[in-house]
Amino acid sequence: MSDPSLLVVPLGGLGEFGMNMLAFRSGDDIVVVDAGLMFPESELLGVDVVLPDIAYLKQNREHVRGILLTHGHEDHLGALPYLISDLDVPIYGTRFTLALLRKKLQESGHLETAVLRDMQPGTAFPLGAFEIEPIQVTHSTLDCVALAIRTPVGVILHTGDFKMDPTPIDNHPFDLHAFARYGQEGVLALFSDSTNAERAGYTPSERAVRPLMESLVRGAPRRVIVSCFATSIHRIQVVVDVAHSLGRKVGFVGRSMVDNVEIAHGLEKLHIPDGMVVRQQDLRGFDPTKLVVLASGSQAEAMSSLSRMAVDNHRHVSIEENDTVILSARIIPGNERAISRMIDHLFRRRALVYYEAAASGGTGPVHVSGHASQEELKLLVNLVRPKYFVPIHGEYRQLFRHAALAHQVGTVSGEILLLEDGQTLELSKTGAVRREPVTAGRVCVDSGSLEEIEEIVIRDRKHLSEDGIVVPIIAIDKHSGRTEGLPEVVSRGFLSTDDGQAVLDGAREVVRRTIDGSNAEEKMDWSVIKEKIRVDLKRYLNKQTSKRPLILPVILEV
């Protein structure tokens, strides 16, 4: 019998923000932690979401025992509606996490076939060759857990997303004792959240938002609109409590906001006094001095509630002069320009706008992070004292800085290991060895469908967006092979009408010469003549303009 070992297979979240997915394999058993998506960068034209490539899991489908979810954010569970058809295995999560997932699976039509299993912090359960114990952690949403995974070669700890909030809104604090207990027992490897590895000090408690929120609502001359992430139930609770204490009612606007509030309230994890909620259809006529509206759209997503309010295109809420708008959320990298434009629109409506860059003052912040800063990260390494340390969740610079912090602490007895997606690691009693990489990467999903987009399609879209398209149109007599009249050349996104007319006239002449220089057989074979036109026209246009537009010859039979 060979000695047992543990293979670590990162499939997403190591080298980028989002798309978090990490697999652990021992013998014939695989468990997967999280299945997140990532929202596309601007160059991924027409792409709706980006998913991790699960080729490795598909190849080993019969060995996958389950998917463990640390919490309910999109970057940790958002890929499941797309991947569940390929990974028909039990999914484990806490109550609120599974409630969010049920909603998503219902919308995608997978709920009836999904196997969802509840897990409780502090209650261990077996899963194949592993034993799993969820550990209570604090973050920016409800019911978040780290995972202690007991394997044949030792205990590994996966933190999920966390911060060490000493005064959480729901009074369920970060379970320092459980981490210390495992540290005493001995931890083979710690996989820890690196999101805020560049941020010094400690991350403030969620309660730190209340003083400024209360000050802004108290001083607001009219209606108050607060926008935050729809999963930030703690933040929503703060706003509800502030509104109640100041004699204001609350309204909820935006599909995700309404859905998540209903889920959290139904689970008794969000407490709203009776008679305090104003229905959406009643918001427009309600006394603006007695109202706080909670709206989704803090990232200026197209057609989101706040984006539509900013341009006065919302059914139930119109922002008017001296309304107060509070953006109580961080700016996700890549969204800066869209959010800036939305804030500009809000100011044009003469609203009083408060956001992270402009709202911090003596009374506290308008938003606090849900991720641990450097001192908390170092404290965790001190508590756990692992043999091996692997930073996860972040771009490479965050992983590198987190590794440097762990080195600075000096309590990692073995190695500090930097991994990226697809780079596998084998842990055993004899040490840690890097193994052959596996397929990992991004799978792009087209807007409005669940279909994967090939890389060549995105490349063509990028090509079109940069250099445009040129369509030469040629009428050819199908019997004689003669052209009827001069070719037409139509362009879009290539050159302006004024500058481009001479170039397009020259292009027509190039097409004419190409046809005249072709023999009768070539003229009768549309594919051959199209390719000849494309090659000659490409050479001519590149020489004239230094551009490489997409050239699509069209032949009309007459």
pLDDT of residue 436: 95
pLDDT of residue 281: 93
Is the predicted pLDDT of residue 358 greater than 80, yes or no? no
238 and 322 fall within a common domain = yes
* CA max distance for the chain: 90
Beta-strand pair 5-12/425-428? antiparallel
- Summarize pLDDT for 412-432 with one digit per residue, the tens: 999 999 999 999 999 998 899
Count of structural domains, the chain: 3
521 and 534 fall within a common domain = yes
Closest CA to 504 of 512, 495, 493: 495
Instruction: Among 452, 480, 511, give the residue marking a domain's end.
Output: 452
Question: Which residues have CB under 8 Å from 522's CB, separation 6+?
Answer: 528, 529, 532
- CA 77/CA 19 separation, integer angstroms: 9
Is the predicted pLDDT of residue 11 greater than 60, yes or no? yes
Provide the pLDDT confidence category of residue 30 given band limits of 50, 70 and 90.
very high
**Mean pLDDT, range 218-245, rounded to an integer:** 96
- CA 157/CA 185 separation, integer angstroms: 12
Closest CA to 520 of 479, 481, 472: 481
Two tokens at 548?
């490489």
pLDDT of residue 470: 81
Residue 73 near residue 141, CB atoms below 8 Å = yes
- CA 184/CA 334 separation, integer angstroms: 42
Closest CA to 229 of 297, 302, 168, 307: 297
pLDDT of residue 128: 94
- CA 151/CA 161 separation, integer angstroms: 22
- CA 450/CA 334 separation, integer angstroms: 23
Is the predicted pLDDT of residue 453 greater than 60, yes or no? no
pLDDT of residue 220: 96
- Confirm whether 271 is domain-assigned: yes
The angle at the Cα of 231, spanning 226 to 237, to the nearest 5 degrees, equals 55
Is the predicted pLDDT of residue 39 greater than 80, yes or no? no
Question: Which residues have CB under 8 Å from 417's CB, separation 6+?
Answer: 388, 389, 390, 425, 432
The parent domain of residue 96 ranges over: 5-201+370-452
Is the predicted pLDDT of residue 46 greater than 70, yes or no? no
Provide the pLDDT confidence category of residue 457 given band limits of 50, 70 and 90.
low
**Mean pLDDT, range 370-397, rounded to an integer:** 97
Is the predicted pLDDT of residue 526 greater than 90, yes or no? no
pLDDT of residue 450: 53
pLDDT of residue 455: 59
- Confirm whether 325 is domain-assigned: yes
- Confirm whether 364 is domain-assigned: no
Residue 263 near residue 234, CB atoms below 8 Å = no
CATH number at residue 517: 3.10.20.580
pLDDT of residue 498: 64
307 and 218 fall within a common domain = yes
Burial of 543: CB neighbours in 10 Å, binned 0-12, 13-18, 19+: exposed
Closest CA to 235 of 250, 223, 246, 221: 250
Is the predicted pLDDT of residue 44 greater than 60, yes or no? no
- Summarize pLDDT for 263-287 with one digit per residue, the tens: 999 999 999 999 999 999 999 999 9
Question: Measured in whole angstroms, how far is the alpha carbon of residue 191 from the centre of its chain?
Answer: 20
Straight-line distance from the first to the last Cα atom of the chain, in angstroms, rounded to the nearest whole number: 77
528 and 384 fall within a common domain = no
**Mean pLDDT, range 444-450, rounded to an integer:** 62
Provide the pLDDT confidence category of residue 462 given band limits of 50, 70 and 90.
low
- Confirm whether 462 is domain-assigned: no
More reliable by pLDDT, 64 or 361: 64
- Summarize pLDDT for 90-135 with one digit per residue, the tens: 999 999 999 999 999 999 899 999 999 999 999 999 999 999 999 9
Residue 322 near residue 222, CB atoms below 8 Å = yes
69 and 172 fall within a common domain = yes
